């Protein structure tokens, strides 16, 4: 039995983007362990479905609509949670989207949406909740969703890859800032490999260039056929967060390979190059 059964058997957890995908899996797992879960998502219908499933299983949850791309809405979420539920023990900044297409073909509004959700949603999630968590003085946890993509490069997935590089760097610096501040807040970077989620569903590509559809379909099929079971991945994530690990992986071997390749690339200072696997993936 993992340490999570003790650490997260009670208290308040806030999960953004919890209406689907990894966020929903994390919310359900935390609810099953005994936490009161704030299921935050821009899609209220999906958030309510996840909250209802937690409650049906004997847990405690509340669905709250929030657009993480709007800092004021994250401030309002923090105020709501503190007022109605009390101090937050675990904050998971999970909300994120995938955007495909050549840099110059992605419309400006899709670019802004991707960066606002994937980067600013995490930054302002921490900014909104961390002061309350620090002031409370109790041991608490913040986990931010990075990716194996935080250590790689991929043409036509540029906006997503750069956002995840940013979150990895942000989390590393945040970890050190909590040490400098003497705060009892444990920071984790969640690094999913390939999990079965809806991030590459066709409808999630609204606003992308039309040419991106074929790549999105291939990625969807790859995750469907080879991805790890979502609930298993989320169980592993929660266990590692409870163990106060900074590096939190679903597939450690995949992460190690990506990190090793990145380190070798930086040390060699060679120009970026397409691998045969990437070339094959991009052939429509």
Please tell me which residue in 102, 160, 175, 226 is annotated as part of the active site. 160
Q: Are 132 and 87 in contact (CB under 8 A)?
A: yes
Residues paired with 37 in a beta bridge? 13, 61
Cα(209)–Cα(260) distance, integer angstroms: 33
State the Cα–Cα distance between residues 77 and 14, nearest whole angstrom: 9
CA distance 215 to 204: 13
Going 141 to 179 to 129 to 164, the CA torsion angle's sign is: negative
Strand, helix or coil for residue 106: coil
The two tokens of residue 192 are: 């999913």
Rounded CA Rg of the chain: 18
Q: Is 160 a catalytic residue?
A: yes
10 Å CB burial of residue 264 (0-12, 13-18, 19+) is: exposed
- Catalytic residues, which ones? 160
């Amino acid at each position: 039995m993992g340490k999570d059964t003790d650490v997260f058997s009670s208290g308040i957890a806030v999960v953004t983007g919890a209406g689907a995908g990894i966020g929903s899996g994390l919310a359900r797992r935390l609810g099953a362990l005994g936490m009161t879960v704030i299921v935050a998502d821009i899609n209220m219908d999906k958030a309510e479905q996840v909250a209802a499933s937690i409650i049906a299983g004997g847990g405690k949850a509340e669905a709250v609509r929030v657009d993480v791309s709007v800092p004021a809405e994250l401030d309002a979420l923090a105020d709501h949670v503190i007022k109605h539920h009390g101090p937050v023990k675990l904050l998971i900044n999970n909300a994120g989207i995938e955007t495909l297409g050549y840099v110059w073909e992605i419309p400006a509004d899709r670019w802004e949406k991707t960066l606002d959700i994937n980067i600013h949603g995490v930054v302002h999630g921490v900014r909104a909740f961390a002061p309350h968590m620090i002031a409370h003085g109790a041991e608490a946890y913040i986990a931010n969703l990075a990716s194996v993509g935080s250590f790689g490069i991929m043409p036509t997935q540029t906006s997503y890859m750069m956002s995840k590089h940013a979150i990895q760097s942000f989390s590393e610096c945040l970890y050190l800032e909590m040490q400098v501040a003497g705060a009892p807040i444990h920071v984790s970077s969640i690094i999913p490999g390939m999990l079965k989620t809806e991030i590459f569903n066709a409808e999630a590509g609204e606003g992308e260039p039309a040419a991106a559809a074929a790549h999105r379909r291939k990625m969807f099929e790859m995750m469907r056929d080879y991805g790890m079971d979502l609930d298993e991945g989320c169980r592993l994530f929660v266990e590692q967060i409870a163990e106060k690990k900074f590096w939190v992986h679903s597939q450690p071997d995949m992460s190690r390979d990506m990190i090793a390749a990145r380190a070798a690339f930086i040390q060699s200072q060679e120009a970026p190059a397409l691998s045969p696997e990437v070339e094959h993936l991009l052939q429509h």
